């Protein structure tokens, strides 16, 4: 039994642990009922409150709240409800001839008591998204959302309490200390979304109990634009993908790598789209958000200062206002190799544009860095696109668009190494919260019994034949 009585969350953990087997036994219909209740809360009861909280925390435009928060969660719920019967059904698999007389299948069983730690940039989506998978798979969960978006976290606590008893799902608000205490408990699975730096802390803590982890992390996601790309549509999509949510998106293009022959034309197209999207005045535009906290505002302002000191060229924006945590959409090039913008994940509305001589050099540049969460390619050349994909590694790739790969529930979502471990969304999220239990059933006399001791020369020969033929 767990001996951790001094931990403030021990009792809550224990309640869920004691309730876990009951929750695990819930039928498909019972799980669907729970998902329906969550769907009703988000889609109907609290929909406007969600948008208000996001406006307060992030200045998020209403349509972005609808599309990147409400729609994503409801989509995840609908997809889970429609496919749950298929996902959780035992999956029959082949059995080798050497095991003649046996049959085999995979049983999907819930991992148990899970911890979900979420970030602030899409607070509802990145908290309830994993929760949907956890519930679909039959787990209990304790959730720790981000302290950076207090209005959203308080509302999520209310939503969770309105739908679940705390011995099934509970939300705990708090800062780093809260996560630290929770991470001391022997959760069966930890689903963490956040920075690579904190991801390492989570994985270290998980190793204490050998809890399994899904780490949805971040990093610098590059965008390659080659000389054949349609620059107008590339600029249209990149200006949308980069500056939505004020650039605070894990899969937004962190920087552009562009063939030097088309750089100026691309920048001019970008300026045109930015003027159009935000009516030449992003500060007054309803379509443009704000930086989440003063700490993040200062981090981004320091990046800009560093770039300016090193004589970078500002093509657009670089306007800041600390009192409203406003940073205008910014296009910047001619950065020195040691510019901080080229080394740290930006996670804000600043787009470095770096030109390259050859595609091979662009690929080598990407491969000299950590493996990204997303890698985008804009090109009309299939040869170039294939070259980029086959010579790099990334969590996901979008060709001639960006960010939208996140919204396809049929695809696994996640990073690789520094950008993440494990996958989420749809079936892959269900799998993350499930133990794939191998079951072999001996139906008749097993042929393997022929090889039981005492060992003889004949059995030795039979063993050799088995190696050769089966």
- Choose between 35 and 251: whose C-beta lies nearer to ligand NAD: 251
- Choose between 262 and 403: whose C-beta lies nearer to ligand NAD: 403
Report, in Å, the least distance between residue 177 CB and ligand NAD.
9
- Choose between 147 and 227: whose C-beta lies nearer to ligand NAD: 147
Dihedrals φ, ψ of 386, to 5°? Answer: -65, -40
Site residues, ligand NAD (CB under 6 A): 117-121, 126, 144, 146-147, 176, 179-180, 193-195, 198, 201, 216-218, 250, 345, 347, 373, 415, 420
Is residue 317 within 8 Å of residue 349, measured between CB atoms? yes
Residue 97 CA neighbour count, 13 Å, CB half: 6
Is residue 405 within 8 Å of residue 249, measured between CB atoms? no
Nearest Cα neighbor of 317 from 229, 374, 248, 247 is: 247
d(CA 114, CA 192): 11
Q: Specify whether 216 is catalytic.
A: yes
Give the chain's radius of gyration (CA, Å).
25
Report, in Å, the least distance between residue 2 CB and ligand NAD.
20
- Choose between 147 and 275: whose C-beta lies nearer to ligand NAD: 147
- Choose between 218 and 317: whose C-beta lies nearer to ligand NAD: 218
Report, in Å, the least distance between residue 215 CB and ligand NAD.
8
- Which residues have a Cβ under 8 Å from the Cβ of 346 and sit 6 or more positions away? 220, 247, 254, 255, 300, 303, 352
Alpha carbon separation from 218 to 119, 199, 225, 329, 349 (Å, rounded): 11, 10, 22, 21, 16
Residue 145 CA neighbour count, 13 Å, CB half: 28
Report, in Å, the least distance between residue 156 CB and ligand NAD.
12
DSSP bridge pairs for 351: 331
Alpha carbon separation from 79 to 1, 30, 42, 133, 396 (Å, rounded): 37, 16, 16, 10, 20
- Choose between 28 and 209: whose C-beta lies nearer to ligand NAD: 209
Three-state secondary-structure class, residue 314: strand
In this chain, which residue has its C-beta nearest to ligand NAD? 218
d(CA 318, CA 160): 40
d(CA 186, CA 396): 31
Report, in Å, the least distance between residue 291 CB and ligand NAD.
12
d(CA 444, CA 100): 8
Report, in Å, the least distance between residue 417 CB and ligand NAD.
13
DSSP bridge pairs for 216: 193, 420
Q: Specify whether 250 is catalytic.
A: yes
Catalytic-role residue among 64, 216, 269, 345 = 216
Report, in Å, the least distance between residue 158 CB and ligand NAD.
18
Catalytic-role residue among 246, 250, 270, 398 = 250
Question: Hey, which residues are catalytic here?
Answer: 216, 250
């Amino acid at each position: 039994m767990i001996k951790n009585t001094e931990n403030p969350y021990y009792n809550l953990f224990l309640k869920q642990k004691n309730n876990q087997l009951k929750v695990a036994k819930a039928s498909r219909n019972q799980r669907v009922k729970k998902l329906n209740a969550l769907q009703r809360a988000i889609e109907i009861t609290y929909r406007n409150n969600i948008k208000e909280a996001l406006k307060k925390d992030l200045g998020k435009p209403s349509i972005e709240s609808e599309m990147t928060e409400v729609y994503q969660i409801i989509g995840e719920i609908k997809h889970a409800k429609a496919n749950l019967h298929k996902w959780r059904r035992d999956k029959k698999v082949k059995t080798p001839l050497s095991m003649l007389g046996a049959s085999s299948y995979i049983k999907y069983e819930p991992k148990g008591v899970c911890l979900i730690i979420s970030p602030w940039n899409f607070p509802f989506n990145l908290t309830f998204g994993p929760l949907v998978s956890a519930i679909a798979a039959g787990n209990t969960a304790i959730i720790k959302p981000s302290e950076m978006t207090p209005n959203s976290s308080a509302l999520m606590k209310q939503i969770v309490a309105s739908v679940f008893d705390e011995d099934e799902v509970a939300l705990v608000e708090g800062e780093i200390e809260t996560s630290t205490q929770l991470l001391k408990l022997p959760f069966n699975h930890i689903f963490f979304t956040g920075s690579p730096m904190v991801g390492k802390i989570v994985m270290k803590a998980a190793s204490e109990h050998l809890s399994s982890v899904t780490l949805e992390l971040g990093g610098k996601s590059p965008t390659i634009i080659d000389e054949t790309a349609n620059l107008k549509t590339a600029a249209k999509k990149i200006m949308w993908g980069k500056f939505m949510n004020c650039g605070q998106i894990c899969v937004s293009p962190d920087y552009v790598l562009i063939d030097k022959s088309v750089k100026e034309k691309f920048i001019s197209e970008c300026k045109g789209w930015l003027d159009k999207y935000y009516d030449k005045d992003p500060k007054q535009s309803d379509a443009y958000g704000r930086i989440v906290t003063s700490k993040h505002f200062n981090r981004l302002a320091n990046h800009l200062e560093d770039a300016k000191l090193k004589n970078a060229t500002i093509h657009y924006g670089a306007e800041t206002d600390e009192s409203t945590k406003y940073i205008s959409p910014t296009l910047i090039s001619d950065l020195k190799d040691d510019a901080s913008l080229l080394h740290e994940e930006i996670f804000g509305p600043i787009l470095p544009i770096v030109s390259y001589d050859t595609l091979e050099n662009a690929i080598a540049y990407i491969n000299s860095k950590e493996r990204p969460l997303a890698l985008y390619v804009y090109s009309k050349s299939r040869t170039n696109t294939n070259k980029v994909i086959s010579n790099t590694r990334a969590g996901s790739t979008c060709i001639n668009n960006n960010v939208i790969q996140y919204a396809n529930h049929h695809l696994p979502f996640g990073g690789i190494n520094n950008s993440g471990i494990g996958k989420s969304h749809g079936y892959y999220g269900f799998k993350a919260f499930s133990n794939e239990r191998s079951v072999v059933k001996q139906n008749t006399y097993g042929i393997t019994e022929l090889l039981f001791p005492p060992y003889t020369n004949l059995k030795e020969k039979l063993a050799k034949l088995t190696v050769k033929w089966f």
